[in-house]
Amino acid sequence: MIQAIEFKPARLQAGVALPIALIMLVAMILAALALFRSVDTATMVAGNLSYKQRTVHAGDEGIRSAFLWIQGKATVSPASLNSSDMGAGYSSSQHANDPNWNPATDWPTSGTYTLPADSGGNTVSYIIHRLCTQPGLTPNQGNNRCATYSSSTAAAPGGSLSSDAPAFSNVTYVYLRVTAKVVGPRNSVSYIQSMMLVPYT
């Protein structure tokens, strides 16, 4: 006797594990990409800040170089500071747009002094302005007006109603402003300013 075998169709699978797994995989990939970009951006920002800081340190060398030039002139021939020396980056009058000078937009195209590039690839240039309204004149000569500072130093006894009071001699100084511009790697640019005083000549 032959017995008939009945085949029942398999139940259809209704699971959702595979679509959920695929969605989670896509979400994890997107999260990984976002984390990678965030870390990469943070690294770039830290690197840019490092380069910016290096330009600031390099600017100190420009200020120092300008100071040594001013010191030499004030010692050897102080009267020469009454005249501009554009080859050395010195202007005997203030910037044309004072007092609202913005170095980023008004940096002069000539009349600055540039130092050789340092080992970090930073190039420093500077310009010195004597804070006077007119070039080529001594301070307060004619219509020339300068920013000055006066100090008193004790010279010798006498010069007062008291017999033992010291006599004071006034020393007048003229303000000079040094502005240094540093251009470094990754288009990093810094501006540094310093005020200096030289005796009135």
pLDDT in tens, 95-143: 888 878 888 888 888 889 999 988 888 899 999 999 999 999 998 788 9
Q: Identify whether 9 is part of a domain.
A: no
Highest mean pLDDT among 5-19, 28-42, 129-143: 129-143
Among the residue ranges 69-83, 91-105, 146-160, 183-197, the one predicted with the least confidence is 146-160
Q: Which domain, by its residues, includes 119?
A: 19-199
DSSP 80: G
| Largest Cα–Cα separation, the chain | 151
**CB of 184 within 8 A of CB of 58?**
yes
Q: Kindly indicate the confidence band of residue 15, based on its pLDDT and cuts at 50, 70 and 90.
A: low
d(CA 65, CA 175): 17
Q: Identify whether 188 is part of a domain.
A: yes
Q: Identify whether 7 is part of a domain.
A: no
DSSP 85: B
pTM assigned to the model: 0.69
d(CA 126, CA 113): 5
Q: Identify whether 165 is part of a domain.
A: yes
> Is the predicted pLDDT of residue 171 greater than 90, yes or no?
no
Number of domains forming the structure of the chain:
1
Q: Identify whether 195 is part of a domain.
A: yes
